[in-house]
Amino acid sequence: MREFAYDRAVDVVGALALLDADPDARFLGGGTNLVDLMKTGVERPARLVDVRDLPLDDIAVTADGGLRIGATVTNSDLAAHPEVRRRYPALAQAVLAGASGQLRNMATVGGNLLQRTRCGYFTDVTKPCNKRVPGSGCPAIEGEHHNHAILGASAHCVATHPSDMGVALTAFDAVVSYETADGPGELLLADFYLPVGDTPHRETTLPPGALITGVTLPPAEVAAHSRYRKVRERASYAFAIGSLAAALDVRDGVVHEARLAFGAVASRPWRAATAERVLTGASADAETFAAAADAELAAAKPLPHNGYKVTLMRNLVVAVLTELAEEAAR
Ligand SMILES: Cc1cc2nc3c(=O)[nH]c(=O)nc-3n(C[C@H](O)[C@H](O)[C@H](O)COP(=O)(O)OP(=O)(O)OC[C@H]3O[C@@H](n4cnc5c(N)ncnc54)[C@H](O)[C@@H]3O)c2cc1C
Ligand code: SF4
């Protein structure tokens, strides 16, 4: 492991200045991903700028009835917050479905969004990997890819994004706020992650050196009727092989509004906009739910060993939407 310097920033301006002063510096949240990657040599920063003392650890209701979540709020605090549980239950469920209690106590909102893929070739520095070493190749395409992408991948990378939290935030149209030396900025989470294309090493549209300061959830009545369901190979402490954040507003048996986002199927949390269009205005029954899933998954391009994800996601959509529709009918 490369030797590195450590600084603890106490204000946003200071954090940005520390990062700016060293081209090899990186922000440190809970360290639950970055430090692991440093140990294996995937990441080799010369300096870590710890952001956990910044005044960004608050969750507050916004004037319009949404929620503003600070970037250093821990996953545990986010999942336990009463307003999150009441207004955006799928978000609390998604966070609780991730990692372990100890990790959630350390991991932060900003770090969760920027965690790197769990592709085994990416984390093994003895292997080629276009994401880690641009132009070196993608062994996953011919090799081990049973948990890789079925949507939005390219011939250059088929990795998935591992975040559970990001899937729920995507369904609820979250907006990421950041600060740079040139001033603040905002990005819709839908525009935050770059398509893979031929540059899988470029993952987000965040400007270089930007500090994520928070995430804002706009108000959404439908979000109160939401659920996160995660399928994994172990009952706990495992990443998803497929997951779904879904919200459904049913009136007189008809879908008034639907929100759907898929996890573990693409390089980013996947907003299922095609499925939402099929659902809106249609009868809230299993036939509609299956048609919506099929419409979204028509774009899937599975690899030889991950075709099961198409069936898995279809079944997840039908099961979770059926549950939400039954609850609405009670
Ligand atoms: C065993 C294990 C199991 C896990 N299981 C799951 C799971 O099932 N689901 C899931 O979603 N996650 C899971 N995780 C991942 C975990 O949730 C992430 O490691 C964590 O959310 C990252 O947050 P962090 O604050 O520790 O980030 P760090 O490791 O500190 O940082 C991650 C990245 O974000 C950058 N960064 C951090 N904060 C900021 C900021 N404010 N502004 C700009 N950049 C910033 C860092 O520079 C770094 O590049 C697991 C992790 C482990 C180790
Ligand atoms: S899927 Fe992406 S991360 Fe994995 S080996 Fe290929 S290029 Fe690297």
Token representation of residue 72: 């250093």
Judge if the beta carbon of residue 112 lies within 6 A of ligand 1: yes
Alpha carbon of 160 to ligand 2 centroid (Å):
9
CA nearest to 110, candidates 242, 36, 204, 182: 204
Ligand 1 lined by 239 (C-beta under 6 Å): yes
In the reported structure, the alpha carbon of residue 129 is separated from the centroid of ligand 2 by a whole-number distance in angstroms of 5
- Token match 């952001």: residue? 51
Tell me how far apart the alpha carbons of residues 91 and 215 are, in angstroms, rounded to a whole number.
12
Cβ of 263 closer than 6 Å to ligand 1, yes or no, is: no
Is any atom of ligand 1 closer than 6 Å to the C-beta of 117?
Answer: no
Nearest CA owner, ligand 2 atom 6: 138
Q: Is 267 in the pocket of ligand 2 (CB under 6 A)?
A: no
Neighbours of 277 (CB within 10 A): 14
Percent of the chain, pLDDT > 70? 100
* Residue with CA nearest ligand 1 atom 7: 98
Task: State pLDDT tens for residues 129-188.
Answer: 999 999 999 999 999 999 999 999 999 999 999 999 999 999 999 999 999 999 999 999
* CA nearest neighbour of 110 among 163, 164, 81, 72: 72
Pocket lining: 52 vs ligand 1, CB cutoff 6 Å: no
Of the pLDDT bands very low, low, confident and very high (cuts 50, 70, 90), residue 236 is: confident
Mean pLDDT in residue range 220-243:
96
**What would the two tokens of residue 251 be?**
């009136």
Which residue has the least CA distance to atom 4 on ligand 1?
Answer: 99
- Structure token digits, residue 147: 């948990």
> Tokens standing for 75?
């996953």
Dist. CA 123–CA 133, nearest whole Å: 11
Tell me, what's the pLDDT at 1? 82
Q: Which ligand 1 atom minimizes the distance to the CA of 213?
A: 41
Non-local CB neighbours of 277 within 8 Å, separated by 6+ positions:
295
User: What is the reported pLDDT for 173?
Assistant: 98
From 267, 1, 303, select the one nearest 125 (Cα to Cα). Answer: 1
Q: Which two tokens stand for residue 287?
A: 């036939």
Distance CA 283, CA 328 (A): 13
Residue 188 sits at φ, ψ, to 5 deg, of -60, 140
129 lines ligand 2 (CB under 6 A): yes
Q: Is the CB of 157 under 6 A from ligand 2?
A: yes
C-beta 98 within 6 A of ligand 2: no
Distance 322 CA to ligand 1 centre (A): 32
Cα 189 from Cα 196, distance rounded (Å): 16
Q: Tell me, what's the pLDDT at 254?
A: 97
Nearest ligand 2 atom, CA 128? 5
Q: For a substitution probing ligand 2, which of 37, 127, 129 has the most ligand atoms within 8 Å of its CB?
A: 129
In angstroms, the CA 73 to CA 169 distance is 15
pLDDT digits (tens, 9 = 90+) for 80-102: 999 999 999 999 999 999 999 99
Q: Is the pLDDT of residue 3 over 90?
A: yes
d(C-alpha 170, C-alpha 67), whole Å: 14
199-231 burial, b at 16+ Cβ within 10 Å, e below that, comes to ebeebbebeebbbbbbbbbeebebbebbbbbbb
Beta carbon of 70 within 6 Å of any ligand 1 atom: no
Atom in ligand 1 nearest the alpha carbon of residue 239? 8
Q: What pLDDT band is residue 202 in, cutting at 50, 70 and 90?
A: very high
CB 247 within 8 A of CB 226: yes
Cβ atoms of 172 and 228 within 8 Å: the answer is no
Ligand 1 pocket, residue 192 CB under 6 Å: no
Going from the Cα of 33 to the center of ligand 1, the distance in angstroms, rounded, reads 5
pTM score = 0.98
Ligand 2 in reach of 117 Cβ (< 6 A):
yes
Mean pLDDT across the chain: 97
The pLDDT of residue 235 is above 90:
no
